[in-house]
Structure 1
Amino acid sequence: MDLEEDIRSLQLDSAEDINGVVNPEDEKPDVDNFDKMEDEDPKQEVQAQSVEAEPKAKDKEIPPVQDEEDEHMKKRHLNVVFIGHVDAGKSTTGGQILFLSGQVDDRTIQKYEKEAKDKSRESWYMAYIMDTNEEERVKGKTVEVGRAHFETDTTRFTILDAPGHKSYVPNMISGASQADIGVLVISARKGEFETGYERGGQTREHVQLAKTLGVTKLLVVVNKMDDPTVNWSKERYDEIESKMVPFLKQSGYNVKKDVSFLPISGLMGLNIKTRLDKSHCSWWDGPCLFESLDSIEVPMGDPQSPFRMPIIDKFKDMGTVVMGKVESGTIKDGDSLLIMPNKDHVKVVAIYIDEKRVNIAGPGENLRVRLSGIEEEDLLSGFVLSSAANPISTVTEFVAQLQILELLDNAIFTAGYKAVLHVHSVVEECEIVELLEQIDPKTRKPIKKKVLFVKNGAIVLCRVQVNNVICVEKFSDFPQLGRFTLRTEGKTVAVGKITAI
C-alpha cells in the first residue's frame, strides 16, 4: 500500500446558508442519554483460500484472499473523525499519520512540498495528502470530508477529516455521524486556541455536535506545540487542558473515562507514531497518538441484529455501487436485501473493504457494495440498504425528545417551527407540528401544565413532520439511526432522539 488512499465522498448537498454557531453558555444539553453507542465492529469472518507458492491464474469471480489480508481483516475497525477549529491542523495531522504509517511514499511527499512552496504555503504540504482538490489547496480550507485508511498493530482505522470552517458544518455532521472516535485538534499557538474556543469559534460547536452524533470517546490533541510562541511549554498545555475540561463536562463527556489529552506537532510528526523524545519535551511521559488510539475501547455492535447501512454515496462501476457504514447486522455475498424507502429488492454482487473484496462484513465497517436489481439514478443519499425480513422503518412523522440549544434571535420554538433535520445521511426540511410535553431537566419527569412554546435549554417531547419519506429508527433500538440535529440558518438549534415512530 504505497499509494495514497484518499477517497473523496460524503458530500452533503445542503441548501442552507451556513453562517452561525451554537452558544454553549446556555444550559447543558441533554446528552447523557446519547452515549449508549453500539457501532463497533466484531471480528470479521473472511473466507480464506490457501495460496500456493506459484499462484494460479485468477479465473474465478472472487479472487483468493491472501494470508496477510486475512490477518488484516481480523483486526478491529474504527472510524476516527478529526474535528476542531479551522487552521488547527486537522488535515496536516491526518496527512502525517498516513505518511508515518506508510500509506504515502517519500516521492509523493516531495511533490506536495514543491507544490505548496510554489503557492507560498510551505507549511501546508502535509495537508495536501488529505485535501486533494484544487479549491481546498488554494484556500487552505477543507470543504468535503476527506477519507483515508491506516493501520496499527491491533486496529484498522478510517480517518474522516472533517471541515473546520463554519460554512461547512453540514459536511462535518456527515463525517461525525459515522465516527466511533473523535480526535479534537486544538492549536496551542498564541491566540489560535482562544479564537477557536471563544463564541464564534468552531471548537465548541464541533464538540457538542460530536457528542450528540454519538462520538462517545474523544482524544484531545494539543497541536503546534513546536510553534515559537509555545516551544513545548507545559504551562500553555496545562492552560488549554484546564479550560477545555469544564466545557467537555458541560457538553456531556465523562472526562475521566472517555477523554484523553496529549501534546503533538502535526507538521513535524512528533508524538504521533512514536513517543516524544525528552530532548523535545522533558515533561511529557504519556503515550503517543497511535498508542492512545489503540487503547480506546468502543462497545461492539450486534452482528446478529437486522442489517442497516445508510447510503452516503453511489456510482456506476460494472453495475450500481453504494457506499456506507454498516450500523448493525451482517452482510454476505449473495444476500437479498431491500433499498428503503423505495422497497426495491436488490442482490449483493460484491463487497469491498478498503479496496479488498470480502465475502462478509459486520457492524462498523465502511463498505462499497455492488448491487444488482437497481439503477444508480434510482438511489439517493439517505436511502438505507436494509434487511428484507426486518426492514428499516419509513416515516413522514415521528415523536422525539428534543434539547433546545440556542434559537435564533427573536425565534420562538412552538408548533409550526421549521428547521433542517440531519439524521444519519439524511438532510430533510421538517416542521414541529405539536409540542406534547415539557420535561424537567433535573427530575427528568414531565411538567404537567400544557406547553405552547419553549426557550433555550428546554427539553421537550414533540411531533416532527418531514416533507418526504425518510428512513429512521427509534433511538432505543438503533442509536445511530435515531439521533438527530436540527439546524436553522446555519445554526444548530436543537439535538434530539426519536422515541416513537
Structure 2
Amino acid sequence: MFVLSSWYQGSCLLDAIDSLQPPKRDFSKPLLMPICDVVKSSSQGPVSACGKLEAGALRSGLKVLVMPSGDVGTIRSLERDSQICAVARAGDNVTVSLQGIDGSTVMAGGVLCHPDYPVAVAKHFELKVLVLDFLTIPIVIGSQLEFHIHHAKEAARVVKIISVLDPKTGKVSKKAPRCLTSKQSAIIEVALDGTVCAEEFTNSRALGRAFLRTLGKTVAVGIVTRIIEDQE
C-alpha cells in the first residue's frame, strides 16, 4: 500500500504519466532518417537501411537520396516494427528496402533524405559544449578526440577554443582560454579526419547533437552551432 506524504499535494506517478502529451513530430518537413544499421538480404532486395524517421514521411515507390554518397534509390518496401506497412512517418522505427542503388554506398552513419533537400556533409564544426566530470586531462587546442553525431563517428581535433560561457547566463565570460576543464561550458571548433552528415541544432535536433569521447569515456556533450566550409 502506498501512502502519500502530507507535504505532497501533486498527482500520483501514474496520473502524471497519463497526463504527458505525445511529442510533436515533423511530418511536414523534408525526409530525414539517420541510418543505424544496414541489412543485405536477397529476400528483401539489394539493401535495406534501418533507422528512426526524424522528419517527413516515406512510402513505397518514392525516390530517396542517400548521403553522404549522393546516390538516389527507390523505396521497394517498408517495415515498421517488423510488419510490412504502406506509409511510415516521423517517429517510426523502420526498415527501408532500397533498389536501384549500389549497396556499398548505404552505410550506418549515413542519412536518407529528400532528393531536393540534401543533408549537409562536412568535417569542420563550431560546437557549444558542456565538459563533463569524466574529464581527467584538460581539453586544449590540438586535443585528439572522437566525434560522435547520431550514428556516425570520426576522429577529431580541437582547432580553436573560442570562449568560455557563464553557466548561469550563457554569455561569454572569457575569450580564447588556454584550456577547458570539468563542468565548463564553451564554444569550440573541431576538425574531423573524414566527413559526416550533420545539421545545425536549430534545424535538426537529431542531427545537431554531438558528443566528444576519449579513452572510452564521454568527456563533453554539445550541439552544432555552425557548419564551417573549409576553403580549398
> Which contiguous aligned blocks of 4+ residues in structure 1 show a shift greater than 4 angstroms?
232-235, 291-295
Q: Distance in 2 between matches of 1:307 and 1:416?
A: 36
1:451 is matched with which residue? 177
1:496 is matched with which residue? 222
2:209 is matched with which residue? 483
> Residue 75 of structure 2 aligns to a residue in which SS?
strand
User: Once superposed, what is the RMSD of the aligned Cα atoms?
Assistant: 2.3
> Residue 206 of structure 2 aligns to a residue in which SS?
helix
* 1:379 is aligned to 2:103: no
* The one of 28, 35, 60 aligned to 1:304: 28
Give 1:406 shift. Answer: 2.2
Q: Distance in 2 between matches of 1:430 and 1:234?
A: 53
Give 1:494 shift. Answer: 0.6
Residue identity (%): 30
Q: Distance in 1 between matches of 2:17 and 2:169?
A: 36
Give 1:378 shift. Answer: 2.9
Give 1:395 shift. Answer: 0.5
Distance 1:414 1:374, change over 3 A: same
Letter in 1 for 2:189: R
Structure 1 gaps, min length 5 = 1-231, 239-255, 261-284
* 1:337 is aligned to 2:61: no
> Residue 480 of structure 1 aligns to a residue in which SS?
coil
Q: Distance in 2 between matches of 1:352 and 1:292?
A: 33
Decide whether the 8 Å contact of 2:161 with 2:188 is kept in 1.
yes
Decide whether the 8 Å contact of 2:148 with 2:212 is kept in 1.
yes
* The one of 308, 314, 323 aligned to 2:38: 314
Give 1:356 shift. Answer: 2.5
> Residue 177 of structure 2 aligns to a residue in which SS?
coil
2:230 is matched with which residue? none
User: When the two structures are superposed, what TM-score results if normalisation uses the length of structure 1?
Assistant: 0.41
> Residue 155 of structure 2 aligns to a residue in which SS?
strand
Decide whether the 8 Å contact of 1:314 with 1:376 is kept in 2.
no
User: For the pair shown, which has the larger CA radius of gyration, 1 or 2?
Assistant: 1
* 1:465 is aligned to 2:173: no
Structure 2 gaps, min length 5 = 228-232
Structure that is richer in helix per residue: 1
2:80 is matched with which residue? 353
User: When the two structures are superposed, what TM-score results if normalisation uses the length of structure 2?
Assistant: 0.86
Residues 137-176 of structure 1: per-residue CA shift (max 9 Å, x gap): xxxxxxxxxxxxxxxxxxxxxxxxxxxxxxxxxxxxxxxx
Give 1:286 shift. Answer: 5.5
Distance 1:356 1:458, change over 3 A: same
Residues 31-75 of structure 1: per-residue CA shift (max 9 Å, x gap): xxxxxxxxxxxxxxxxxxxxxxxxxxxxxxxxxxxxxxxxxxxxx
Structure that is richer in strand per residue: 2
1:160 is matched with which residue? none
Decide whether the 8 Å contact of 2:135 with 2:182 is kept in 1.
no
